[in-house]
Structure 1
Amino acid sequence: MPIVEPFKGIFFKEKKIDTYVCPPYDVIDSDYKNQLLSKDEFNIVRIVLPEGENDQKYKNAKNILKAWILQKKLIFDEDCSFYAYSCKYSIDGVEKTLFGFLGALKLEELGGSIKPHEKTLKGPKIDRFKLITSTNAMFCPIMMIYDNVQLSDFIKKCNKEDLFEVNFENKLHKVYKINDASAINHIKQKIKNQTLVIADGHHRYETCLSIKEHYKQIGQETPGSDYALVFFVDKNDELSLMPIHRLIKKINIDKLKQKLYNFFEIGDVFNYDIVMYDGEFTYLKYMKKITDGLIERLDVKIFEDVVFKGMLNLSDADIASNEISGYAHSKEEVVKSVDRKEAAAGFLLKPITYDTLFEITSHNLTFPQKSTYFYPKIPSGLVGYHFSSIEGCKNV
């Protein structure tokens, strides 16, 4: 049973913070990080991706956070609150508005009322463990999906206080405060009945579980460490669920095509399973498509089994290495990669549906790696959670 609590959020005192926020840490490359660092001395990237050698960087993050709080650059909310959030964005020429809310979720083991949809890697969890235990804070929320349009409608209509808005990466982000006791209790009760699916932030959630267990094992009582910062969004609230497309980098394209036509026939824009781009688009339809098994019938699974493993004899390690295969998050990225000769061919996959996502996770199954891409990403630095943020908020 998910337990979510209001908390005393930590955020920048100024209302104009366009240059203070950054994307989630795991989508920032070195060039973009340097841009963010040069953009403003108070950009939150200095905390979520701190500078420094080895473990010194985590101490640096701790010191920066402490200094910004002492300078009152970052302040704690005086009220225990939930924080509604909206983002106006455009995708494929369509205007959308993502809507949800931020809360402090009490940690529980995965597989019950909180479902993962993908497996994690060890490296990122070690990094986040060191950062969160050093700063006692989270500025990058985990994103979870629920299925309750009545709750979503309630949050949209209930009394809210405007906090600030941010123009960042061609999107308008707005944050509101919900501190009415009756509204808070209504939200808490409705979330208890939900199954939550992790969209983004699997590594962060598992890291938070490890932190909770770590303090338990060493016998250190650390109030607030058994909660995590989570953004909750209803599956109908315009969070775009898109596929991650596949690239093949090192291959004789003519030989590949000969193999492809043993499994595919030519389709058209109305009747196809995948689309190949090698300078021109070819619509492909499986001659015989797998229809059994929740995972086995997924397009991404069939493609990897037939093309990556069947035709190219790639192992899971080969696929993960990104030397022969690769990934792209948009049709435009596929076209650029092929046109620039960075890949020999690209394959556009179809997106899964939210119904499929909930069906598969309800059986405690996980998708193949790189199956889903959720968009947009919530900027880091809008509202943060500190271990002390939950103090006095559990019985509001």
Structure 2
Amino acid sequence: MAEIKPFRAFRYNQALGENIDKLTSPLFDVVSEKYREKLYQSEYNSIHISVPLEGPDGALLEHRIEEWKAKGVIVQDQTPAIYVYYQHFKLPGHTRSFCRKGIVCNIRLYDWEEQIILRHEDTMPHSVNDRKKLLEHTHMHVSPTHGLYTDVDKSIEQYMEDAMQSPLYDSEDYQGVRDVLGVIQDYEVIQKIRSLLKDKQVILADGHHRYQGALAYLKEQKAKDKLHTGNEPYNFHTMYLTNTESDDLRIFPTHRLIQGINEFSAEQFLDDLSEYFHIRSMDNDEDIMAVIAGKKWAFGLMIGDDVYKIRLRQEKYYEIAWAIPDILKQLDITILHYFIMEKVLEIKKEKQPISKKIRFERNLSACVKEVISGKAQAAILTQEIPMQTVKDVCFSGYTLPQKSTYFYPKVICGYLFGSIKPEDNHAKIDRSF
């Protein structure tokens, strides 16, 4: 089902690559404005093509890519390859070290209706358009999206381990994560990996806007080209693939901040919530995540200096009036958005994704600061969604509510770039790739 291919990546030349940690950057949707400004000071940092200062379209961006090629800032590998990407990290409260293992390859672009690549959340049109424009003017996939396949036998890991004996890069990124990149160029090994993945469905974990932008670009090019064959480079997309069965696949929760509610009253808010939730006052915010952990339909609530555990009254579940299947109704995030956002705060479902009254925050400490400072009127603290839940929803043909998951760590930009120019996708030694 999922067709993957090796590709000839563009990478920073050897001299620049010795300082690769100064050339990598966060993905476009997670880099802060302050950190972005710092990265712009480095002439060849990957931020200049992933989040260009002048915007995602224009002749200046096209010129920059060609100038980097001409000057040898980025150089294309001569042999088609599958790249191996390890991310080593630690988490607060854990004594063990984690290592998320995966491969970076080209994968055929599929429409969602084909049910080969499955999205787990919806996209925002303006972000899709930005990513499409970036592809149009760079002719490159400047950062791999993140996909998930399922292989209980972990059949590919033996080949990954071999590749990591002589890594191309080994650096620490902005997250404090150790990123290591290896390469597989052996034809027979690549064919084995392709064979192992050909019957797999892939869940798109991160990069929905980039993938959707590439898909829109493909459809546009296909409509223009009467001789379209389906094998043109723009039919493929660069993706980082990891195994859902790995113990090192981490999904963090995304909390909700509430702001801008007219005449907001903590007392009234709690009183309105009590119709739907059991409410228990807590001593401090440090304990709240442990208290709600593993409990269905339970959330942390912060208002000023006060912290509460709230849990849906079980009988209220049957009052959900949204026309969605049971598999989605039962999600904590659905409970939150139906009973708190729509019923209590009166923010209708269709308005919620674009409402300025709702902000998304992944960092618990940031939530605490926002609420105590008064920048946010309240914070709703959520639990992480298990990988099995993500799989169950996606394989059922549905998508999770927006901002349900945060796969950690994020893939970085700058290790490699995948060109969609025809002249960059041919090699004399390319036998059947």
My pick for the range that moved more, 154-163 or 24-33, is 154-163
Q: 1-side partners of 2:419 and 2:205: how far apart?
A: 22
Structure 2 contact 142–418 (Cα < 8 Å) conserved: yes
Question: What corresponds to 1:46 in structure 2?
Answer: 48
The superposition leaves residues 83-135 of structure 1 with CA deviations (integer Å, 9 ceiling, x where unpaired) of 10111222234332221110000112114121011111211122111211121
Amino acid of the residue matched to residue 240 of structure 1?
R
Partner of 2:233: helix, strand, or coil?
coil
- State which of 191, 205, 211 in structure 2 corresponds to 1:205: 211
Alignment of 1:395 with 2:398, yes or no, is no
Residues 55-204 of structure 1: matches in 2 within 5 Å? 55-56=57-58, 59-94=59-94, 95-111=97-113, 112-149=115-152, 150-160=154-164, 161-169=166-174, 170-204=176-210
TM-score, normalised to structure 1's length? 0.93
Q: 2-side partners of 1:285 and 1:127: how far apart?
A: 40
| Root-mean-square deviation (Å) | 2.1
Q: 1-side partners of 2:349 and 2:98: how far apart?
A: 36
Q: 1-side partners of 2:256 and 2:159: how far apart?
A: 38
Question: What corresponds to 2:286 in structure 1?
Answer: none
Residues 1-396 of structure 1: matches in 2 within 5 Å? 1-13=1-13, 14-38=17-41, 40-52=42-54, 55-56=57-58, 59-94=59-94, 95-111=97-113, 112-149=115-152, 150-160=154-164, 161-169=166-174, 170-219=176-225, 223-237=232-246, 238-249=248-259, 250=261, 251-266=264-279, 269=291, 273-278=298-303, 279-288=305-314, 290=317, 293-316=326-349, 318-388=351-421, 389-392=424-427, 393=430, 395-396=432-433
Structure 1 contact 152–234 (Cα < 8 Å) conserved: no
Q: 1-side partners of 2:30 and 2:179: how far apart?
A: 18
Structure 1 contact 100–234 (Cα < 8 Å) conserved: yes
CA distance 1:245–1:335, shift in 2 (3 Å)? same
Structure 1 contact 50–60 (Cα < 8 Å) conserved: no
Structure 2 contact 300–380 (Cα < 8 Å) conserved: yes
Q: 2-side partners of 1:48 and 1:327: how far apart?
A: 23
Q: Give the C-alpha shift of residue 152 in structure 1.
A: 4.2
Name structure 2 gaps, 5 residues minimum.
283-290, 319-324
Q: Give the C-alpha shift of residue 323 in structure 1.
A: 2.7
Q: 2-side partners of 1:34 and 1:262: how far apart?
A: 47
Partner of 2:415: helix, strand, or coil?
coil
Question: What corresponds to 2:322 in structure 1?
Answer: none
CA distance 1:323–1:135, shift in 2 (3 Å)? closer
Structure 1 contact 125–207 (Cα < 8 Å) conserved: yes
Amino acid of the residue matched to residue 130 of structure 1?
K
Q: Give the C-alpha shift of residue 79 in structure 1.
A: 1.2
Partner of 2:22: helix, strand, or coil?
coil
CA distance 1:262–1:152, shift in 2 (3 Å)? farther
Partner of 1:18: helix, strand, or coil?
helix
Q: Give the C-alpha shift of residue 15 in structure 1.
A: 2.6
My pick for the range that moved more, 149-158 or 126-135, is 149-158
Q: 2-side partners of 1:54 and 1:26: how far apart?
A: 13
Q: Identity of paired residues, percent?
A: 21
Q: 2-side partners of 1:264 and 1:275: how far apart?
A: 12
CA distance 1:261–1:53, shift in 2 (3 Å)? closer
CA distance 1:261–1:354, shift in 2 (3 Å)? same
Q: 1-side partners of 2:355 and 2:258: how far apart?
A: 9
Partner of 1:162: helix, strand, or coil?
coil
Structure 2 contact 56–131 (Cα < 8 Å) conserved: no
Q: 1-side partners of 2:358 and 2:47: how far apart?
A: 30
TM-score, normalised to structure 2's length? 0.86
Aligned residues: 393
CA distance 1:53–1:303, shift in 2 (3 Å)? closer
Q: Give the C-alpha shift of residue 317 in structure 1.
A: 5.2
Q: 2-side partners of 1:377 and 1:144: how far apart?
A: 12
